[in-house]
Structure 1
Amino acid sequence: MTRFLFPLAALILSVTGPAAANIANGKLPDGSYRCEVYLLGTFMTVGDIRIRGAVYSGPAFFGAAQAQQGYNYQINPNGEIAWLGPLGGFTSGGNSVVLTQITDDRDRTASFDIVMRQRDGAFTAFTCTIR
């Protein structure tokens, strides 16, 4: 029995790898996330959201370099992000965020989708990917 446990433990460790920022620890990898929407047959960049630890800022629209206030965010066990402050144009002018779902939590390929409800009731989906 013990000769089967060692290979199983080695396999589990090789799959899980070292601890990193992810859904399990409630954080996304630090970095700037470029947000895009697919509109009229092309992807359009709408701004960047900066993540550092459990704090986000932005989105910064069109490469704006000015410092922005940071706000906390939380991730639930299902990989949904709750933004605990405003989220630029996603939460202004009658717009609201319906759902933000993490689609990848690995360091180099992290991404999440934001579903926004517009003032007129229409929904728009954005994808934000680490740069």
Structure 2
Amino acid sequence: MLRLSTTLALALLMFPASADAGFSNGRLPDGVYHCEVYLLGAFLNLGDITIKGDVYSGPTYGGWTVQGYNYQMDANGEIDWLGPLGGFTTGGNSVSLSQATLIEGKPPSFDVIMRQPDGAFTAATCTRG
């Protein structure tokens, strides 16, 4: 049993849970996140979402300023947008799930799973530049 405990302790030291450490404060790192979707063999620009503290704005295209809204993020990195999210929530689209990915050494990002009016789902990835 001692051998298993030692192995477990070494594994925890080698692979700390730092990937999720950023989730504990309930915020994404501040910055501009470029959003894209892969569709029909190409990446399509869905605009930029700006995060500052617990406020987001966008998506924007070409630097237009838009109103900011609050968002919340739980300890697992699931994001609740507390306002509209541009084209992600217009035209019959709705956001089914937004999930942050914070991995040490990689740019922070989040995925937005959208449900389209016909019931199909589309996933977009937004990565901080």
Q: Distance in 2 between matches of 1:85 and 1:105?
A: 27
2:92 aligned counterpart, secondary structure: coil
How many correspondences in the alignment? 115
CA distance in 1, matches of 2:104, 2:30: 11
Partner of 1:97: 95
CA distance in 1, matches of 2:104, 2:64: 28
Distance in 1 between the 2:104 and 2:52 partners?
15
Going from structure 1 to structure 2, the CA distance change for 1:107 and 1:66 (only over 3 Å counts) comes to: farther
CA contact (8 A) 1:29 1:107 kept: no
After TM superposition, the structure 1 = structure 2 runs for residues 20-99 of structure 1, keeping only pairs within 5 Å, are 22-61=22-61, 63=62, 65-99=63-97
Structure 1 spans left out of the alignment, 5+ residues: 1-7
Fraction of identical pairs, as percent: 61
Normalised by the length of structure 1, the TM-score is 0.79
Change (3 A) 1:87 1:26: same
CA contact (8 A) 1:28 1:105 kept: no
1:46-100 C-alpha deviation (Å, 9 max, x unpaired): 1000000000000003x2x222100000001221000000000101111100000
Matched, 1:125 2:109: no
Instruction: Name the SS for the 2:71 alignment partner.
Output: strand
Q: Distance in 1 between matches of 2:116 and 2:93?
A: 4
Matched AA of 2:81: W
SS of aligned partner of 2:24: helix
Unaligned ranges ≥5, structure 2: 1-8
